[in-house]
Amino acid sequence: MSERIWIKNPLAIYTGTDMDAGAGIVVEGDTVAELVPAGGEPSRPVDRTVDAGEHVLIPGLINTHHHFYQTLTRAFPPALNKKLFPWLQTLYPVWAGLKPAHIEVSTELALTEMMLSGCTCASDHHYVFPETAPNCIDIQAEVAKRLGMRVMLTRGSMSLGQDQGGLPPQSVVQSEETIMSESERLISQWHDASEGSMCRIVLAPCSPFSVTAELMKASADLARERNVLLHTHLAETQDENDFCKQFVGQRPLDYMESLGWLDSNVWYAHGIHFTDEEIRRMGKAGVGVAHCPSSNMILASGICRTKELDAAGVSVGLAVDGSASNDCSNMIQEVRMALLIGRLRYEADEITHYDALRWGTAGGASVFNRDDIGTLAPGKQADLGMFKLDELRFSGAGDPLAALVVIGHDRADKVMIKGQWKVEDGMPVGTDLADLMQRHTRAAQELIAPHR
């Protein structure tokens, strides 16, 4: 029999549902067994009780777009204060030096950093495969398995280097034969489509203008054949839209549709510069968008039209994006940023903390086409975050749930993934943070040393 744990009487709770859970939730094994109404008790005896009287309890946050390796190039001086394309051109030569040890430690640090922010499921868009690090996704999968983090790992790709009119140097592009054979192998080896899956593989060419049309089509065909998702960057900046029109003679969404990339198994990163008509088409097709507020502000890319996307039926999730453009991997901070940047586009009563929390939880699950995570409800995976409001900035807060977002938290006190505690008392279980930071710093210094 699985242990039954009652997470009892939280200070505040957001379940993502309309069900009463004022007295908390019961976790049994790896799933939520029941929601306990205010003033009530569990329907059956429990084995253990966790007092949540000082905690705000929410579903685990879901990160829909990241680049783990970029934790090694945070605040990289030559790339500061640049627009997207010059920023990429500055950093591509640095990333071309990635080695397996760099991938391993950057993945460990990124996943640990996200866990500490209340994140329980993370996607990574890895598309840089220098000859020195061909098996990056395998390394990431092993690290995630060791840490117990739920992941959606995307097999990215670039086949058009500078010699073919693309942005990346030739040293980080691969042949289409290699890309497709590796995509097949990774799906066979790591993709788990079952309910409660801890690792799924996604096919993710970097962008419409960093691979050929043939590769985009082949990736879409393979994804449908193997029933996996598709992901790419799209409409992040106006410069990107203009470049796409110059490169292929079409706006990005039109080009994607012609390649079979306007469908319910697709989500785009950023998705800022769409027209009203394009948003309607996206909603009809059932695509998703990973909204990256902090990254979009750092690179001055623009403001995602979240309300219009919502209204059209587009799934909207939140994402930290890469740590070279954010420059951190903190999902609870991203929830607040989504609220704040939304208030620059919409009226104060049109974007609420509930919207931001929904995008960060159930919205992300919808982007991933998953119905087993994203809310706290019977039968859902036991993925959750618990936050204490015991710091000066929260003193006097009248609404604890609103305070979590509006005042802004940055670190969870407890995090559970698949029924297992992964963060307790604000620290990751089984991880020596000082040692991890020391190893990560050494790797970052080694990577950037030739470019100082």
Q: What is the domain extent for residue 71? A: 61-367
Question: Stretch 265-292: mean pLDDT, rounded?
Answer: 98
Are 423 and 114 spatial neighbours (Cβ–Cβ below 8 Å)?
A: no
Same domain for 320 and 253? yes
pLDDT digits (tens, 9 = 90+) for 113-133: 999 999 999 999 999 999 889
Same domain for 162 and 21? no
| Domain C-terminal end among 367, 388, 418 | 367
3-state secondary structure labels for all residues of 81-115:
CCCHHHHHHHHHHHHCCCCHHHHHHHHHHHHHHHH
pLDDT band at 45; cut points 50, 70, 90 = very high
Structure tokens at 38: 């205010």
Same domain for 146 and 129? yes
Q: Is 210 a member of any domain?
A: yes
Same domain for 14 and 142? no
CATH at 304? 3.20.20.140
Number of domains in the chain: 2
| Domain C-terminal end among 367, 392, 408 | 367
Look at residue 323 in the predicted model and tell me its pLDDT: 82
Q: Is 450 a member of any domain?
A: no
| Domain C-terminal end among 367, 401, 418 | 367
Same domain for 189 and 141? yes
Q: Is 251 a member of any domain?
A: yes
Look at residue 72 in the predicted model and tell me its pLDDT: 97
Classify residue 286 by burial, with Cβ atoms within 10 Å: 0-12, 13-18, 19+: middle
Same domain for 397 and 257? no
Look at residue 351 in the predicted model and tell me its pLDDT: 97
Q: Is 374 a member of any domain?
A: no
pLDDT digits (tens, 9 = 90+) for 241-267: 998 888 889 999 999 999 999 999 999
Look at residue 357 in the predicted model and tell me its pLDDT: 98
Pairing relation of β-strands 61-63 and 119-126?
parallel
Q: What is the mean pLDDT of the chain?
A: 96
Same domain for 395 and 363? no
Same domain for 248 and 174? yes
Q: Is 372 a member of any domain?
A: no
Alpha-carbon Rg for the chain, nearest whole angstrom, is: 21
Q: Is 339 a member of any domain?
A: yes
